[in-house]
Amino acid sequence: MEKTASELAQLLGGNVFGNPDVKISKLGKIESATTGELTFLANHKYEKFIYDCGASIVLVGKDWEPSSDLPDNLTLIKVDEAYGAFAMLLKTYEQVKKKQARVHSSAIIHEGASVGEYCHIGAGVVIEEGAVVCSNSEIGASCYLGKNVKLGEGCQLFSGVRILDNCTVGSDCTIQSNTVIGSEGFGFAPKEDGSYSKVPQIGNVIIEDNCDIGANCAIDRATIGSTIIHQGCKLDNLIQVAHNVVIGEKSVIAAQTGIAGSTIIGKNCLIGGQVGFVGHLKIADGTKIGAKTGVSKNVMTPNTILQGIPAMPIKAYQKFQVGLRGLVRNYFKNKEQGRKND
């Protein structure tokens, strides 16, 4: 991808300060970028690097002004938001790098499956009967798409992804390696003799448009109906989503979180790493939950911030931590005083 500063400014809606004809072909970090590369400055902690930056072009915010002299050969492009503009370029760069559309000779595609135009199907991929892969999607090596799976346009599945029978993934979704979508939910009914009988899981999983799912996640199919991840959700690595869970649109969940069956998470929620949810909860829109929190009760008030085990409002959690530290200090202080009295 080779672009001039003026071409990039037009693409990003920015203004050039410097040489409009300077060209870049790579993207780099502000600390180490060299001639022919573009980088960005969005965090003031990194501003010191721009004054001896070796890049040809740096994206900066429209209101940014240097506090010292810049390198003579450095061209700036001022945009509304530097990080967002750089993210747009990264996406464009990845699209340019994408493999040419082809189907590897070792892929196994059932004659009753459908693969759209401009798709890349990697080595060892299996696509079962009734599956539909829409155009411009990329399926990495050793992926498996079960019967009647629907994969939308412009999706990318990294190697080893499994999407099991009757599940649906919307358009422009990315699923990282070794994630399993549509595995059987954890359903067992206790018997009088203390053993368990398996409850059949006959539902499916629906993942809507523009979702990103990290590596090694397990998203279980519903017992009846659908486990649903609504549009725009972002899930990190190693997340367990149990049967019949619903995650509201544009919610973000960090690594190692576990969501038990039939819990409903609202829109625009932010959930930290290693959070645990018991089953059958309702979590209001805009809820923010700190890392390692244990959620065992419904959250009915939108935009609540929770932390702790059990989960409590953030201010109550902070007071609790202050009190706990004071209690520990007093314990050791009294213990030491007791030794002196002895």
User: Do the Cβ atoms of 50 and 67 come closer than 8 Å?
Assistant: no
The bridge status of strand 196-198 relative to strand 188-190 is antiparallel
| Separation of alpha carbons 90 and 94, rounded Å | 6
Catalytic residue list contains 243: yes
User: Do the Cβ atoms of 301 and 319 come closer than 8 Å?
Assistant: no
**Identity of the amino acid at 26:** K
| Separation of alpha carbons 104 and 175, rounded Å | 20
Q: Which tokens go with 247?
A: 């995650």
The per-residue DSSP string of 56-123 comes to SEEEEETT---SSPPPTT-EEEEES-HHHHHHHHHHHHHHHHSPPS-B-TT-EE-TT-EE-TT-EE-T
Catalytic residue (one of 44, 104, 243, 280) = 243
User: Do the Cβ atoms of 290 and 313 come closer than 8 Å?
Assistant: no
Q: For residue 155, what are the β-bridge partners?
A: none
- Give the residue from 104, 136, 132, 134 showing the smallest Cα distance to 118: 136
Q: Which tokens go with 29?
A: 């970090």
Helix/strand/coil for 318: helix
Q: Phi-psi region for residue 333, left (φ > 0), alpha (ψ -120 to 50) or beta?
A: alpha
Q: Which tokens go with 123?
A: 């080595």
CB atoms within 10 A of CB 246: 21
Positions marked active-site? 243
